Amino acid sequence: MNITSAQFRCSSSKLSQMPDDRPEFAFIGRSNVGKSSLINMLTDRPGLAKVSGQPGKTRLANHFLINGAWYLVDLPGYGYARVARSRREEFSKLIRDYIMRGPRLHFLFVLVDSRLEPQRIDLDFIRMLGEEGIPFGIVFTKGDKLSADRLASNVAHYKRRLLEEWEELPPVFLTSSEKKLGRDGILSFIGESLNDC
């Protein structure tokens, strides 16, 4: 798939504010895992999604219209403790409402940092997706920060951890926003998924 146009459509704090006219592919993960950088890399538009070194910066669901045909959705990060509890609960409600009741959510990409051991908050979130029957895949970010061997080892370890609970693994993507690693794989996956819509 080629992305020929990408434009910001809207920011939403609740489900009722979101567009529901086209298929949506959403990106979520812990705060500061690299969602905005990945979106900019996928669309080849460096300033499309705002990148910040401050965790918890994305506080709304941001919709970007791609090729006039589908939405790429940047969701708030989860698990960042340095915001007020009331704000965290708002994020949680927005995320939960969108994932459970979003009428056009076609697929959810869950981003995890390839440098880290499997984090409990990610594993709990992934387990919840499975229990709710939400279609999702796992995107390992920051792959350029590791050697090829270490990256492969970390991903294999993560898969083994998932197979302790799962009979079958979800789709897995290895990415680096800096090196554009994984771009073709994710866009091809989205293109094939759109054919099934």
How far apart CA 69 and CA 97 sit, in angstroms, is 23
Q: Give residue 104's identity as a one-letter amino acid code.
A: R
Model pLDDT, residue 83:
45
Q: Give residue 197's identity as a one-letter amino acid code.
A: C
Residues 6+ apart with CB under 8 A from 47: 40
Model pLDDT, residue 58:
56
Closest CA to 134 of 170, 174, 85, 165: 170
Residues 6+ apart with CB under 8 A from 146: 114, 115, 154
Model pLDDT, residue 55:
46
Model pLDDT, residue 79:
66
Q: Assess contact for 68 and 89: CB atoms under 8 A.
A: no
List the chain domain ranges: 6-195
How far apart CA 117 and CA 161 sit, in angstroms, is 10
Q: Give residue 22's identity as a one-letter amino acid code.
A: R
Q: What are the tokens at 195?
A: 């054919």
- Looking at domain 6-195, its CATH architecture is 3-Layer(aba) Sandwich (3.40)
pTM here?
0.91
Model pLDDT, residue 93:
84
How far apart CA 196 and CA 61 sit, in angstroms, is 25
Query: Do strands 70-74 and 105-113 pair parallel, antiparallel, or not at all (unpaired)?
Result: unpaired
Model pLDDT, residue 87:
43
The low-confidence residues of the chain, meaning pLDDT below 70, are 52-58, 79-91
